[in-house]
Amino acid sequence: MQTHSKQPIKISVNNVTKTFGHGTGNAVTAIDGFNLEIRDGELISLLGPSGCGKSTFLYLIGGFEKITEGEILLDGVPITGPGSNRGVVFQEYVLFPWQTVARNIEYGLRLNNTPKEQRVARVKELVRMIGLEGFEDVYPFTLSGGMQQRVSIARAMAYDPDVMLMDEPFGALDAQTRNKMLVDLIGIHEKTHKTILFVTHSVEEAVMISDRVCLFSSRPSKVKEIIEIEIEHPRSVTDDRFVTYQKRLIDGLAEKDVGGQSDA
Amino acid sequence: MADLIGETKALQASVAPEGAVISWFNIKGYLIPTLSLLLFGIAWELFAYLSAISQVLLPPPSASLVRLVEMMGPGDGSAPSYLMLRHIGATLVGLLVGFIAAALVSSAVGLLMGLNKTIYEWLNPIISLFMVIPTVAIVPVIILWSGLGMKTVIIIVALGACFPIIFTAAAGVQSIPKKMIWAAQTAGANRQQILFTVVIPATMPYLITGHKLALGRAWRAVLAGEIFASTAYGIGFMIYDARTFLDTQAMFAGLIIVGILGLVLQSLFFRYIEKSTIERWGVVSQKDI
């Protein structure tokens, strides 16, 4: 947790602006003059109201969308497109339905021609990590949403990216499955020390898993506040400190945006 | 609890030889179509005998079937041996060569249109225009350009088959969720790898539908093509040629073959492909991503 403050900067977001339809009459600015520093190995939640641009921000780091102004540095190198130093998990899983669980997981390893023995070993390790032993040879459509999302996480981790980008990954799951997935994600984070960016609109999710929570203002997005969650794991929703953080974040979300840009 | 187990067992016993139940349903599945066709045949037979229409114009199906069997065999020397098989062979060659040629070219064109917005915008109007012109209407022009014979039939079939494939392939590519492409890019896939590991497999359900539609059109096109452009063999040619001799039995024998082959092509040809791809992947029933 707090130890991350001593870690080097992994991602540095400098004055980033993203405008859709730039140069046209109906241009929409999703993100405006955004600054953020993310440390190596931290789990940071990007929390904000729906449509505030937090997913767009994640896609900029993914390299899926082009930055209009400013720059994002990953290990000091500007991001210009997608790359295998980042892994991505979407709310919709988007697994490849024509491939089995094992083949989905080893997708990235096949792309970079990893030898078969290594692939098999890695798949085995990941399948154990996500608790899906015995499901290696089934097709994704036979799995429940939670299981599919586990496969999606394993697929993104298979080629060992430094950074995991998670776009409301548990948003489509039922409450029970979601809680289990959150606990598992914390476990994975503690084991792998990956830098994880976790987009969510759930205050509870954010407090449950995060080292830090970055509060987004509504569109156009700016960083409203960054809150460090100083509770040791495992965290309990009934813990007084948990409740206090939750209240603070809810208040933060409700607060009028600074700079009078709240018309969106 | 014990009651429940007992009840379940009794229930299982009552449905018992499970195979028997299933095969009975299978029989039922074939029973009605068979009976229905049989009744239709009998009605036609009776009508042919009892109505005022000359049997020269409306031969009873029994006579046409006998004629069909004769034509399938070595014959009596008055016509080439195994005549019907030669006609069937010519039709299938024309159909398959034209269809496969169309499938290869059109899939590529359709994928390109799906991948590139500019290509799509410029080609779409032209293809939409050609799509609404029935293939038969273009046949005279093709005959003028390439004469009579198998080559012309193949061109006609290919023309008839290509447009549904192009359209569905383009639509298939456009329907791929962009996040699926993103996931592949993040895993390190380059453009070529994305094409082969994501775009083509993700387009498969659409491609299969397009090829099914195309085969239906190709089947119509091959018969139309043969009627106008064949000089020796082909079922379409045979039916048309028999007309000149008022050989209605042969004409109906040809139509029976057309019906049977059409059904076989329609129902059997794609079953295997569908079973080994989209059904296995659960894409058919899967909710949209």
At the top level of CATH, which class does the domain A1-79+206-264 belong to? alpha beta
Tally A–B CB contacts below 8 A.
81
Residues B185 and B240 in one domain: yes
Residue B138 lies in a domain: yes
Q: Are A88 and B186 a contacting pair at CB < 8 A?
A: yes
Residue B287 lies in a domain: no
Residues B145 and B212 in one domain: yes
Residues B38 and B110 in one domain: no
Which residue segment(s) compose the domain that B232 sits in?
Answer: 72-281
Q: Are A98 and B202 a contacting pair at CB < 8 A?
A: yes
Q: For residues B160 and B131, give the distance between their C-alpha atoms in angstroms, rounded to a whole number.
A: 9
CATH classification at residue B182:
1.10.3720.10
Q: Which residue of B has its CA nearest to A59?
A: B182
CA dihedral A190, A191, A194, A197 (to 10 degrees): -40
> What is the predicted ipTM?
0.91
Residues B177 and B212 in one domain: yes
Q: Compute the nearest-CA separation of B115 from chain A (Å).
A: 17
Q: Domain spans of chain A?
A: 1-79+206-264
Residues B32 and B158 in one domain: no
* Residue-by-residue pLDDT tens, chain A, 264 positions: 445 667 899 999 999 999 988 777 788 888 888 999 999 999 999 998 888 889 999 999 999 999 999 999 999 999 999 999 999 999 999 999 999 999 999 999 999 999 999 999 999 999 998 999 999 999 999 999 999 999 999 999 999 999 999 999 998 888 888 998 999 999 999 999 999 999 998 999 999 999 999 999 887 888 888 999 999 988 998 999 999 999 999 998 887 655 444 443
Q: Which residue of A has its CA nearest to B185?
A: A82
Q: Among candidates B186, B202, B288, B273, which has minimal Cα distance to A97? A: B202
Select the residue of B178, B182, B282 nearest A139 (Cβ to Cβ).
Answer: B282
Please enumerate in sequence order all residues whose Cβ is within 8 A of that of B39, keeping only pairs 6 or more positions apart, or say none.
none
Q: What is the pLDDT of residue B23?
A: 57
Q: Are A83 and B282 a contacting pair at CB < 8 A?
A: no
Q: Are B197 and A141 a contacting pair at CB < 8 A?
A: no
Residue B57 lies in a domain: no
Residues B125 and B252 in one domain: yes
Q: Give how many domains chain B has, as a whole number.
A: 2
Residues B87 and B218 in one domain: yes
Select the residue of A87, A94, A140 nearest B179 (Cβ to Cβ).
Answer: A94
**B176, B182, B193, B197: best to mutate for the A interface, most A CBs within 10 A:** B182
Pair A74, A163: CB distance under 8 Å:
yes
Q: Are B281 and A98 a contacting pair at CB < 8 A?
A: yes
Rg (alpha carbons) of chain A, rounded to whole number: 19
Residues B44 and B80 in one domain: no
Q: Which residue of B has its CA nearest to A165?
A: B186
Residues B138 and B24 in one domain: no
Place of tokens 């669980």: A101
- Reported pTM: 0.82
Residue B101 lies in a domain: yes
For the stretch A148-183, what's the b/e string if a residue is b when 16 or more beta carbons lie within 10 angstroms of its beta carbon? bbbbbbbbbbbbebbbbbbbbbbbbbeeebbbebbe
Q: Compute the nearest-CA separation of B190 from chain A (Å).
A: 9
Residues B144 and B248 in one domain: yes
Residues B140 and B269 in one domain: yes
